[in-house]
Amino acid sequence: MYWTRVAAVLVAQLLIIVTGQRFPTISYISQEKVIDIGGSIELECSVQYVRDFPVLWIKMDSVDPSRTIPLSTGSNLIVKDSRFSLRYDQASSTYTLQIKDIQENDAGKYQCQVLLTVTEKISADVAVSVRIPPIIFDNSTRSVVVSEGEGVKLECYAGGYPAPTVSWRRENYAVLPTGGSQYRGNILTIPSVNKNDRGTYYCVAENGVGKGKRRNIAVEVEFSPVITVPRPRLGQALQYDMDLECHVIAYPPPAITWWKDDVQLSNNQHYSISHFATADEFTDTTLRILTAEKRQYGQYYCKAANKLGTDQASVELFETVIPICPPACGQNLFSVSVAASLGGADIILPVLLLACMFRRIYY
């Protein structure tokens, strides 16, 4: 094979000597081109002493040579693509290949060739790189659910040209579990998750082309209930309503119950229970005691349970002489005045009325 090529070159040179021509050369080839997707480029190839030799532009495929595509021969375009055109300047013997609306698959190596024989040529290459905005690959994390105390990895992989950088931040620029408001890298690792780590995380891929790409990743942290009581002791007069409240934070949302004297309470003529979820992990629960009776005074418990654990808190209801407002405001104030008059305390009636309207006793 080697000697065959040598012989072919010698024959070509002999023909050049016999015809009096000089040996063909490529005197100029464009430098590497880097272009944004959708842009246009011109690739120039200047040749000398090629009057009887064909000049070609070729799109090379280094991975699969069978996919190498001839684009032009001489001053004629071969490829049937309206984005490609060829211009030939006879004075400088320059062949200019023009490509409009550059696409991702236009990137690669372009070769200007001068064919000496069927098997021999001289050539020069020019690389074309297409700048591509970032894309975030499907193997990146979309959302996770993790129990408190466990570790979690948030992964984000991106492509594009130039290769994008990947960074992480939290919603509203909250502090990341790793510290600081931003972290660079494909993997954000949280060794031991706590409930404060829940929320939305942003994976951001940027390479200077376009506006970059962002993916929102929801991190749900499962944790056992925690109950707080805004008013652990409340007073109310007989025959008046009173609300006992607990605030519950838990995920997943817990089952919430109210208890007194080891008996679970339910909605009836004595009690009204309501739950109001302010978010996935926040629930306010209220036990309304209806027209309080003597036996209803005492210690109450609100309990919350999910698959990760339980919690409980107590609220004490004690008896007062004066009705407490709210919730007694909506009840009959006339009964207050009658009770005060019968007790020989007419002078304190205005005080009782004002107390019923404005006073709320809690500890």
Over residues 219-227, mean pLDDT: 96
Select from 318, 132, 125, 296 the least CA-distant residue to 212: 132
The predicted pLDDT at position 20 comes to 53
From 78, 100, 130, the end of a domain falls on 130
What is residue 328's predicted lDDT score, i.e. its pLDDT? 67
Q: Are residue 144 and residue 115 in the same domain, yes or no?
A: no
**pLDDT reading at 360 higher than 80:** no
The pLDDT value given to residue 356? 45
> What's the pLDDT tens digit per position in 41-97?
999 999 999 888 999 999 998 788 788 999 999 999 999 999 999 999 999 999 999
Least confident of 138-142, 184-188, 208-212: 208-212
* Residues spanned by the domain of 73: 2-130
The pLDDT tens digits for 292-317 are 999 999 999 999 999 999 999 999 99
On whether both 247 and 263 belong to a single domain, the answer is yes
How high is the pLDDT of residue 349?
45
Predicted local distance difference test score (pLDDT) of residue 279: 82
Co-location of 65 and 151 in the same domain: no
CB within 8 A of 266, min separation 6: which ones?
273
**Residue type for position 309:** G
327 with 243: CB under 8 angstroms? yes
Amino acid at 156: C
Same domain, 33 and 64: yes
Q: What is the mean pLDDT of the chain?
A: 87
Q: CB–CB of 247/227 below 8 Å?
A: yes
Q: Give me the pLDDT at residue 251, please.
A: 93
Banded pLDDT at 330 (limits 50, 70, 90): low
Q: How many domains, the chain?
A: 3
Q: How does residue 152 score in pLDDT terms, banded at 50, 70 and 90?
A: very high
Regarding whether 164 and 94 lie in a shared domain, the answer is: no
